[in-house]
Each structure stands twice: as C-alpha cells, then as structure tokens.
Structure 1
Amino acid sequence: MTVRRLDDNGDIVTRGQQFITGQSEVAQTVLTRLRLFLGEYFRDITDGTPWYEQILGKFTSLSTAEAALRARIANTPGVIRLTSFSADFNIDNRKYSVTAGILTEFGLEEVTLNG
C-alpha cells in the first residue's frame, strides 16, 4: 500500500517525494489514526480515537484510556504488535504525549504523538 506523505504540520506534500511506502507509511498511518477523533470521518462515524469519550474527558481510569490508545495502534494495518507503549497525560496544562514502539511488516519503528 502507498499513502500520501504528510509534512510536519500534517499537510499533504505536493512537491518532491509525494508518496511513501514501507515502514514510514505504517508509522504515518498510526499517527493519522491517532489524530482522527471518533465520529469525525463522515463516511464512517464509528471510526476514530475516542479522545473525548474515553481519554481526555472525565474517564474512570487511566488504564481504560491507555487500552483505547493501544487498541487503536495495534489495529492499524501493517502493525504486527506493540513493542513498547507510554502515555503521559498532564491534566493541569491539558497536554498529552503518546509514544509507542511498533513492530511492522517492514521492521521496528517508534511513533510519538504530542498534543
């Protein structure tokens, strides 16, 4: 599978190498899936990361929030399994950070999402 490459701001690259495959493709797909909010995609409102529903809102436990993130990463096409996972939620300044090591069909990759 081939996907359009995104720049550091998340915009589609229109010059130079516009498409990516392999390990970079899987890593970008993981980040894209994490950034998609549940119900945001009009063609499938059941797709997305439950940021408001289970993670950033008033959630019952941190383990439930982490399980939702782990599942979202692990169910990404091309991901074989998670090799490491850490999530840091700072309630005071409303920041989150997710770092995951993943084993893909093409090798090991680490992805980090800050928000």
Structure 2
Amino acid sequence: MDTILLDPDSWDMVVDAAGNIAMATQPYAIAQDVASACRLFNGELWYDWYDTAKGVPYFEQILGKNPPLSLIKAEIVKAALTVPNVVSAQCFISAFDGRSITGQVQVVDTFGTQTVVSI
C-alpha cells in the first residue's frame, strides 16, 4: 500500500518533480507508516473513522510517569502492529537520556521484508 511521502525532517508532505504530491512506495511506505504510528498520541486519530483507540498512550502512561522501558517498548510494538502488512515488530531502546529515548523498531511485513525504523 502506498502512502503520501513525508519529509523526514519536517514530517510534512513533499512534491515530486512534476509538482504533484509525492507518494512513498514499498518498503519505505511501511517504514514511514510505522514511524507515524509510533508518533501518534492515543486519542488523536480523527481521519480513520475517528478511531481514537489507536496510538501510543503517551499522556496516560509515559510522559511524566517514568514508566519501565518494557512498557514503552510494548506500546511502540503495539502501535507498529496496527500498520497494514506488518506481521511482527520488535522495539530496541539504545539510550534513555533524561526525557529523550532513542532506538529502533524492526518490523517484518507480509512480503518478508525486514525494515528498521529509527525512533
């Protein structure tokens, strides 16, 4: 499934050489959709039939709560698995410095492609 291509720095739409809205194709589209799912705050998905159950519970369970890393990883994996064609996901946290977490989500899609998404 294709998706609108987003600029990796600004997370805004970009245009192609012809001036049309650029589209991302597989496997990058899945990686971008996983990144979007992991950035989504619980309750903010209004365009998908108002499915406010999707998203990571950042306000409810993570931000300002100092939860165990296992909870953060589990919520990120749960979000990644909501992306169509993603069959498995693993989250790895490489650094937890103050209020910043860095790491990656490794996903496998229905085509057997493994993709690494930085978080």
Q: Provide Cα deviations, 1:53-96, integer angstroms capped at 9, x if missing partner.
A: 222331543322221111111232111212x4212332x2x112
Residue identity (%)? 29
Listed as ranges, the gaps of 5+ residues in structure 2 are none
Q: Is contact 1:54-1:68 (8 Å) kept?
A: no
The TM-score, its normalising length taken from structure 2, stands at: 0.79
Shift of 1:111: 0.3
**What is the alpha-carbon distance in structure 2 between the residues aligned to residue 97 and residue 89 of structure 1?**
7
Listed as ranges, the gaps of 5+ residues in structure 1 are none
Query: Which residue of 88, 100, 106 maps to 2:105?
Result: 100
Question: Is 1:33 aligned to residue 40 of structure 2?
Answer: no
Query: Which residue of 45, 48, 54 maps to 1:47?
Result: 54
**What is the alpha-carbon distance in structure 2 between the residues aligned to residue 70 and residue 26 of structure 1?**
14
| Residue identity opposite 1:89 in structure 2 | F
The TM-score, its normalising length taken from structure 1, stands at: 0.81
Q: How many residues align?
A: 110
Shift of 1:105: 2.6
